[in-house]
Every structure is written in C-alpha cells, then in structure tokens.
C-alpha cells in the first residue's frame, strides 16, 4: 500500500466514523462552533484554519474535469463512492475558499447520495456565511453546493 492509498483509506475510515452523525447534526455542530465568535475576522480565521487542516488532494485529481465552474478561485472537487457513501476530497488555491470547501466536505462527506440530495444546507444562512462573502465568492459557494449535489445525483444512479 503506497502512501496515497494509506491516506485514502485513512480518510475513508474517518468518513465512515463520521457518517454515524446525520448531516443535520453536523450542520448544528458547525453553527454552534461559529456562534462562539462574534467578529467575522475570527470566523474568517476559522475558515482558513479548516482549509489548512484539509487533507491534501492528490495531484492526479487536480484536473480540468474536477474544477468547479463559477468559482473565482480554482477549486478542485473529487468524489468517490465507498460502500454506498460519498467521500469528497478537495483543494483550492485560495485560503478562504479552501476553508469553505473544507466546511462543506465536513458536513456532506461520508453520507449516502440520497441523504445529500434530501438535505437543505441551512448552516450557510444560519452562520451568515453567504452575506459575509463577496458576490463572486458567494456565487462560488453556490457552485460548490451545486457540484456536490450533482455528484450525489450522478452516483445515486450508479
């Protein structure tokens, strides 16, 4: 087993363990964590920290087909189906954007395609994320959510 396979398996194991929490439970956790901060500079720092903690995306997945259209920054999103659960990995060339995709992955990765399709990602509005992003970043956030839902729809059928 090479290092990338080890990291993939390690990532999948942590996703499987997390999968025991519902998407809504994970959203509620994020809302609680963000509510600890009143200053948006602290919340931006939390996003940057989340991005820095994101497992590195294997270079082989940094392809045009994995780039999310509609993002100001370059954001790559890879999705695999393991035992009926979607496992997402991602990277971005911008710190806050990387934190945003890390936050989305934390919530949806390790769940079934149907769970992802059935869930409203209400945490985005509750933490005030969209209203504190520039219009182009806000559009990028919507593009990230759309791509996650597209993966779920495509892999639900397979």
**Residue-wise pLDDT tens digits, 92-105:** 999 999 999 999 99
Name the residues annotated as catalytic. 71
Structure confidence at residue 61 as a pLDDT band (50, 70, 90):
very high
Does the pLDDT value for residue 7 go beyond 50?
Answer: no
CA distances from 32 to 25, 40, 98, 104 (A): 11, 15, 21, 15
Structural domains in the chain plus CATH codes: 3-156 (3.90.1010.10)
pTM listed for this prediction:
0.86
**Residue-wise pLDDT tens digits, 71-90:** 889 999 999 999 999 999 99
Strand partners for 75: 92
Tokens coding 39: 């200053």
CB distance 78 to 92 below 8 Å? no
């Amino acid at each position: 087993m090479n290092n990338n396979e080890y990291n993939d398996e390690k990532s999948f194991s942590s996703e499987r363990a997390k999968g025991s929490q519902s998407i809504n439970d994970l959203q509620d956790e994020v809302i609680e964590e963000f509510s600890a901060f009143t200053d948006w500079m602290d919340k931006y720092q939390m996003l940057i920290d989340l991005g820095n903690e994101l497992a590195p995306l294997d270079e082989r997945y940094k392809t045009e087909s994995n780039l999310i259209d509609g993002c100001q920054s370059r954001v790559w999103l890879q999705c695999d189906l393991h035992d009926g659960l979607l496992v997402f990995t991602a990277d971005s060339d911008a710190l806050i954007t990387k934190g945003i995709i890390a936050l989305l992955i934390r919530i949806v990765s390790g769940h079934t395609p149907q769970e992802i399709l059935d869930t409203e990602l209400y945490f985005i509005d509750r933490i005030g994320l969209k209203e504190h992003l520039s219009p182009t970043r806000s559009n990028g956030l919507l593009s990230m959510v759309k791509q996650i839902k597209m993966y779920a729809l495509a892999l639900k059928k397979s």
